[in-house]
Chain A
Amino acid sequence: MPKFLTLRFGSLQLRIAALYTGLFALVLAAILAIAGGGLSRFGETSATRDMQANARVFNEIIDLRASQMRSSSDVLARDFGFREAVATEDAPTINSALVSLRSRSRTGAAFVVTLEGDIIASGEAGISSSDALWFKLDDGQDQGIMMVDGELSLAAASQITAPDLIGWLVLAQPMDKTELNRLTDLAAIDLEASVESASSLPATLRDRPNGEVFEYEQSERHLYYLSALPTFDDELSPRLVLRHSLTGSMAEYSGLQWLLAILALGGIVLVVGLSWRVAKTITGPLQKLDKATRQISAGNKVDLVIETDDEIGRLAGSFNQMVSAIEERERKIVHVGLHDDLTGLPNRKLFLEQLNRGVAQLRGTDQLMVVYADLDNFKVVNDTLGHPAGDMMLRDVASNLCEMLPEAMIARLGGDEFAILIDDIASDTSLASVADRIQNCFSRTIELEGQQAECSASIGIAVAPSDGNDGTTLMKNADLALYRAKSEGKSTYHFFEPALDQQARERRQTELDMRSALRDGDFELHYQPLYSIAEDRFTGFEALLRWNHPERGRISPLDFIPLAEETGLILPIGEWVIREACRQAAEWPEDVSVAVNISPKQFTYAGLTNTILQALSSTGLAASRLELEITESIFIADVEKTLSTLHNLRSLGVRIALDDFGTGYSSLSYLRSFPFDKVKIDRSFVEDLGQGGNSHAVVRAITTLADALGMDTLAEGVEIDEQLEVLKQEGCRNIQGYLFSKPMAASDVAELFENSASVQSSRVA
């Protein structure tokens, strides 16, 4: 089907109109068919009936004509003089009488048949079979068809008596067209009549029974009626053939049918028009709705005009309401989608859009600055003052930024991250001064719920076009710069430089390598002895992770542990460390324990307890020989949860040591919250020992406190004898550091135990 038709027929209006028209046409067609059929049947029947009646009448007309002729002949036949002439066979007299009779009666022929069979006629009467005629007359027949002068003629005979029968006077009239037409004029319907001898008729007509009306079609439809006429010559067997044009008589009925058809056509036209109109009242508003819907889809604003107060009008009204509701919601969604809920600032998506636009509009030597800022102590504020305070801080920072940097576009990227876009920076502007200004915007004191909180931010800056030509790249680079700024210390800013990108790539590579190291067994545990001053022996070893990179060689834990922490790889790595440490420690003497560092991320991981249990049970290591070293940072998060985890771990029977003690904000308060088994004094205090200063006092305070709380103490990073002496003096019970041993491979540990006595003595000495 061509598209044109599909489209057109797809319209409801057309379908409705077509349906109604079709139905109407169907009904009309049925009516026409029935009426038309009835009409033509009625026409045929009545024509046939007329024909039948008229045919009977026509036979009587012929009889009448014969009677007329006989009346004429009777007059002469009774004339005394004529009878005398016949009786005396006075031919001249007879002839003259016949001539006058013929002209008087206007018949074709007149002649006398004598009883002897002679024929006396005026002139030449071409009577072919006089004998047959005589016998018929003698039988008393007084009318019939005969052949006169080669023409079929109607003949009527009168007896001539004198007084007995002496002959017959016969009048004959050729049944030619003129004569028959004269007769058919008398009929009530339009008839064509002819008299034919049976032998001259076509076979189909000849074989039809007489006295019946039938239809016979040649060039047009005709009704035929054949009847046998009395004859004076049996060989003629004449037939009266009546013909009535059925086509003619049907013509008036077909006129009626045409009228019906025209009426029907008019009706259909009317119905098409009306149903089209009716459909239009329905589909018109629908089309408007459709159009409006499409415009709305295309994003145009549309207001439908309500014309009526019927269902369609109400639909239009509802539609308008719906449209405005949708617009409102759309506006909200767009806003939500592009703005930060908390601060009302644009979000990352909108920022990126604006950034891209800004980059595209950069002209000449103008510059554009993308600033990533991360609040330095937000996590602490959140943890210590609660989330509402954190949210308040974010809002405060946001409004402050907007106020201070009216020319900039400020967005919140999520969490405590903000992004600032400053465009149209002239090439001679000092970027550093801009950075300073931004830095200053963050560095201030905020009052939160009655408490003062110091606010600062680390800032990463990327500048277009030098650091990138598209928003995504610029944002990535600003982020890298931020990463660097943060790692360099808080409250600083850092401009992006290509090396950062390089570093980022390296970090990604390192992450990948860590995964394969875990898989390929490139990690290795080294152990650093823990020396008990009181017992004068190694009472345990701290397990330290080493990575033998197949290409880069040994990689320092400082280089990959933070990354592992960041990426979450610390979890599988830490798990491996626990299992491996337990496995190897199980081979050591029973009075030697193993210490494992648990990272903050690992600590919050719910499966930690389970991992430890499995490691212990699979290796058979006594729980008391496993020491978990945790740092103070675990308390920064949820304190309640931390304590509950610590108690869970303690319930396993493992020992828990507080690592790097003394570096945190409120280290002493942690000691109060949980009964640690051991406190490891941070190496920074140990380094200061022997160089004067107050570390001495700090160490003493710690050991005194620990003693009071029943906790063991250990000093890290002991490298020289002076430090050892001070520590001994201040009551520190355990020592760890290069003074005794660097971390050693597992095999070396085993070896150590074989010659434990000698080693100990040599070191201690």
Chain B
Amino acid sequence: MRDAVVELMPDGGWSGSIQFPWRMAMAQRNQQFTPGTLVVAKGSTVAFPNLDHVRHSVYSFSKPARFEIDLYGRDQTRSYKFAVAGSVKLGCNIHDNMRGYIRVTETPFAGKTDRNGYITLRSMPAGNAKLTVWHPRLRAPRNEKSSSVRISTGDQSRKVKVRLR
């Protein structure tokens, strides 16, 4: 399954800085949020550039970030700072079918699966950790499924099964 967010949080937590290699932006193009799912670190500010010819708004009723950005036009950019970790569902007030998901995470060991449902996380410290899989259609409370894993040195793979709605 693609675009499932996978997070691995060491048991001791993570206090270091978090840097993801992708842009902290959720563009609107062809009346779609692009990328549909974005993983950001807590406290990140995400830009919402409008690349369409039409105007869009951005709203979220999700608990980690409740906000509304009024309609804005092409080549305009709005931004919002996500201060609380969690999943934020984005919609456009005038285009109901536009969905965007931002996962605000507190661990650097996070990302989203590729087309084939794979994700590779690197440089994790050994020890026990909590593995969380999230997907907007995952059939579970808060759309996420967590499990404890023990991280050892070296490569190791893990398969997580989820049910989708």
Residues in A lying within 8 Å of B, measured CB to CB: 78, 80, 83-84, 87-88, 161-164, 166
Residues in B lying within 8 Å of A, measured CB to CB: 59, 61-62, 66, 89-93, 96-99, 136
A78 touching B96 by the CB < 8 A rule?
A: yes
Whole-angstrom CA separation of A71 from B119 in the bound complex: 43
A161 touching B96 by the CB < 8 A rule?
A: yes
Please list the 8 inter-chain residue pairs (A to B) with the smallest Cβ-Cβ separation, ordered nearest first. A163-B91, A87-B61, A162-B61, A163-B99, A164-B89, A84-B61, A80-B93, A164-B136
Whole-angstrom CA separation of A84 from B91 in the bound complex: 12
Which of A84, A87, A164 meets B99, CB within 8 Å? A164
A183 to chain B, nearest CB (A): 32
Asked whether A162 and B91 contact (CB < 8 A) given A78-B96, A84-B61, A88-B61, the answer is: yes
B61 touching A83 by the CB < 8 A rule?
A: yes
Whole-angstrom CA separation of A84 from B66 in the bound complex: 10
Question: Could you list some 21 contacts between A and B, CB below 8 A?
Answer: A78-B96, A80-B59, A80-B93, A83-B61, A84-B61, A87-B62, A88-B61, A88-B66, A161-B91, A161-B96, A162-B61, A162-B89, A162-B91, A163-B92, A163-B96, A163-B97, A163-B98, A163-B99, A164-B89, A164-B99, A164-B136
Whole-angstrom CA separation of A78 from B61 in the bound complex: 14
Chain A residues with CB below 8 A from B92, complex form: 163
CB-CB nearest in chain B for A163? B91
Whole-angstrom CA separation of A480 from B5 in the bound complex: 171
Whole-angstrom CA separation of A558 from B122 in the bound complex: 194
Whole-angstrom CA separation of A87 from B64 in the bound complex: 13
Whole-angstrom CA separation of A84 from B61 in the bound complex: 6
B138 to chain A, nearest CB (A): 11
Whole-angstrom CA separation of A88 from B65 in the bound complex: 12
Chain A residues with CB below 8 A from B59, complex form: 80
Interface core residue of B61, B92, B96, B98 (most chain A CB under 10 Å): B61
Whole-angstrom CA separation of A88 from B68 in the bound complex: 14
Chain A residues with CB below 8 A from B93, complex form: 80
B31 to chain A, nearest CB (A): 13
B66 touching A163 by the CB < 8 A rule?
A: no
B127 to chain A, nearest CB (A): 35
CB-CB nearest in chain B for A84? B61
Interface core residue of A87, A88, A161, A163 (most chain B CB under 10 Å): A163
B23 to chain A, nearest CB (A): 22
B123 to chain A, nearest CB (A): 33
Whole-angstrom CA separation of A162 from B96 in the bound complex: 9
Chain B residues with CB below 8 A from A78, complex form: 96
Apart from A161-B96, A163-B98: 18 A-B pairs, beta carbons within 8 A: A78-B96, A80-B59, A80-B93, A83-B61, A84-B61, A87-B61, A88-B66, A161-B91, A162-B61, A162-B89, A162-B91, A163-B91, A163-B92, A163-B96, A163-B97, A164-B89, A164-B136, A166-B61
CB-CB nearest in chain A for B143? A164
Whole-angstrom CA separation of A162 from B136 in the bound complex: 12
Chain B residues with CB below 8 A from A163, complex form: 89-92, 96-99
Whole-angstrom CA separation of A161 from B96 in the bound complex: 8
Whole-angstrom CA separation of A163 from B96 in the bound complex: 7
